[in-house]
Amino acid sequence: MDTDYLVIGAGASGLAFTDALTQAAPDVEVTVIDRQRSPGGHWCNAYPFVRLHSPSAYYGVNSLTLGQDRIDQVGENAGYYERATCDEIRAHFSEATERLTQTGRVRMLTGHEHLGPGTDGERVRDLTTEQVHEIAVRRKVVDARYLEASIPSTHKVPFDVAEDARMVPVNDLPQAAHAASSYAVLGAGKTAADACMWLLDSGVQPDRIRWIRPRDAWFLDRRHSQPLKQVGATMEGISLDAEAAAQSDTVGEIFERLEASGRLVRIDPSYPATMYRGTMLSARELDALRQITDVVRLGRVRRIQADRMVLEHGEIHTGADVLHVDCTAHGLNNAPATPIFGPRRIVLQQVRYLSPCFNAALVGFVEAVRDDDADKNRLCPSHSYPSTIEDWPQMMSCTWTAAGRWLSEPDLSEWVAGSRLNLLRALPDHASEPSVQTAVMRYLTHVTPAIERLGQLDGSSAPRA
Ligand SMILES: Cc1cc2nc3c(=O)[nH]c(=O)nc-3n(C[C@H](O)[C@H](O)[C@H](O)COP(=O)(O)OP(=O)(O)OC[C@H]3O[C@@H](n4cnc5c(N)ncnc54)[C@H](O)[C@@H]3O)c2cc1C
């Protein structure tokens, strides 16, 4: 078996890359492999009530829409663009795979695991037959698993749970919830927030929910991440980022300014927050989550027994009737940034902040239209997913530096402007609105000093390449 590109991983990144590459380079053959039985990556094992935290309008593969660009009328997301459920996301990636394979130039091998380089190609194990064979790769191996997500249903729980204590991964919460009298949600991120929201939406009183938060998190206000007709609010958010970065002396000050401007929120503003993973909440979700006041801040869980929970900095009472809900998986994988393009290899990573599908598609397009790896890396500098507020400078500096470079490349600018995955795609249609003009002006005034200031705040903020 041989192929031009071997893509390892059929998640959002591998599929968005393959879609954009094959659209822009009609002569290439691509083989995509995944150890799972169906495409979609972590969404295949996601908890049943998960939704995108960002709008569907700019998620998935570039050539196929996801959802109908509706604005939700009711619920926690009312007033904002629809967000797909995990069933809808899986259906999107299945259809995208079908369309890709129908071109005759893309081969999908699910149930196949990549083992590493062999003598005549890349070694791949067929997980049905256990046979190992080699695939000769004429151009490049594409690592679309470097940032593989860690999720509650498949991660190894990082603490002990006694046999007589009750704990479920968040995936099993809907089946297990009825048999408990109270709940302890473990984790500080978006999955834990989703579990709390699910309990509240199911009629559980807030005083029956205990939230074990090893650290407090910052969230983006979803208002500032809207596409299409609401793109003006997104531009406003980006301009507030640039202004805060240009005018602050410390990362802490940037976050204070962004909270004051409404760009960032935290569930308990009286408590310092250090975690930043770039996830979003709406004002309605925030109000609901603030009803939960039994918050335990004693560090990470070490052990759960029937009657007590041992944490890094102390112990608390728990009970056999308490259902502990595991939401402690890391989610986003913040592996260190490395150059995306190398000899005979591509490692898919983040270029524009918090845009995995856009970035994978961008890399696919650049691979198709440029020859020199150094030039490709200049156009696609990489940064790692954020985990703490200290990661913000590198993430933003990389994003703004890359965006500036794209402007002087007509073909790339045209691709970005037309991409469904570009959340700013509709900006030109709204350029005459006074609020958009104010935001654009604020961004243009501050972005260059912001990049300089971020470089002084954090020595590692220079983009890779
Ligand atoms: C709960 C949750 C919600 C999220 N919501 C959003 C959102 O709303 N918007 C957004 O932009 N992002 C969101 N993200 C970020 C998310 O990680 C990306 O959107 C995207 O789904 C990640 O896709 P991926 O392909 O990089 O990784 P994954 O989905 O993890 O896929 C990696 C794939 O590689 C395969 N693989 C690994 N090793 C091998 C091997 N050796 N051989 C063969 N196959 C292998 C795995 O089986 C897997 O299918 C969310 C993440 C999580 C965890």
pLDDT one-digit tens code per residue, 161-190:
999 999 999 999 999 999 899 999 999 999
For residue 321, what are the contacts with CB-CB under 8 A and spacing of at least 6? 166, 180, 181, 182
- Round the average pLDDT of the chain to a whole number and report it: 96
Q: In this structure, how many other beta carbons lie within 10 angstroms of the beta carbon of residue 154?
A: 13
C-alpha–C-alpha distance, residues 107 and 109, integer Å: 7
Cβ atoms of residues 10 and 40 within 8 Å = yes
- Residue of minimum CA distance from atom 29 in ligand 1: 41
Q: In this structure, how many other beta carbons lie within 10 angstroms of the beta carbon of residue 345?
A: 14
- Residue of minimum CA distance from atom 41 in ligand 1: 114
Q: Decide if pLDDT at 194 tops 50.
A: yes
Cβ atoms of residues 64 and 99 within 8 Å = yes
- Residue of minimum CA distance from atom 34 in ligand 1: 9
Q: Decide if pLDDT at 109 tops 80.
A: yes
pLDDT of residue 461: 45
The answer, yes or no, to whether any atom of ligand 1 lies below 6 A from the CB of 347, is no
H or E element, residue 421: none
Cα 148 to ligand 1 centroid, rounded to whole Å: 5
For residue 389, what are the contacts with CB-CB under 8 A and spacing of at least 6? 218, 251, 252, 255, 273, 274, 275, 276
Cα 344 to ligand 1 centroid, rounded to whole Å: 23
pLDDT of residue 458: 60
Burial class (CB in 10 A: 0-12, 13-18, 19+), 463: buried
Closest CA to 317 of 290, 298, 339, 338: 298
pLDDT tens for each residue of 402-448: 999 999 999 999 999 999 999 999 999 999 999 999 999 999 999 99
Average pLDDT over residues 49-57: 97
pLDDT tens for each residue of 242-295: 999 999 999 999 999 999 999 999 999 999 999 999 999 999 999 999 999 999
Mutate which of 13, 133, 145 to test ligand 1's pocket (most atoms within 8 Å of Cβ)? 145
Give the number of the atom of ligand 1 that is nearest the alpha carbon of residue 190.
1
* pTM exceeds 0.85 for this model: yes
pLDDT band at 457 (very low <50, low <70, confident <90, very high): confident
Q: Decide if pLDDT at 460 tops 80.
A: no
pLDDT tens for each residue of 4-13: 999 999 999 9
pLDDT of residue 152: 85
pLDDT tens for each residue of 303-343: 999 999 999 999 999 998 999 999 999 888 999 999 999 99
Cα 14 to ligand 1 centroid, rounded to whole Å: 9
3-class state of residue 345 by DSSP: strand
pLDDT band at 153 (very low <50, low <70, confident <90, very high): confident
Mutate which of 80, 148, 350, 395 to test ligand 1's pocket (most atoms within 8 Å of Cβ)? 148
Give backbone dihedrals phi and psi of 215, rounded to 5 degrees, phi first.
-145, 160
Give the number of the atom of ligand 1 that is nearest the alpha carbon of residue 332.
17
pLDDT of residue 462: 47
pLDDT of residue 179: 87
Domains of the chain: 2-150+332-405 (3.50.50.60), 160-225+259-326 (3.50.50)
pLDDT of residue 303: 98
Q: Give the percent of the chain with pLDDT over 70.
A: 98
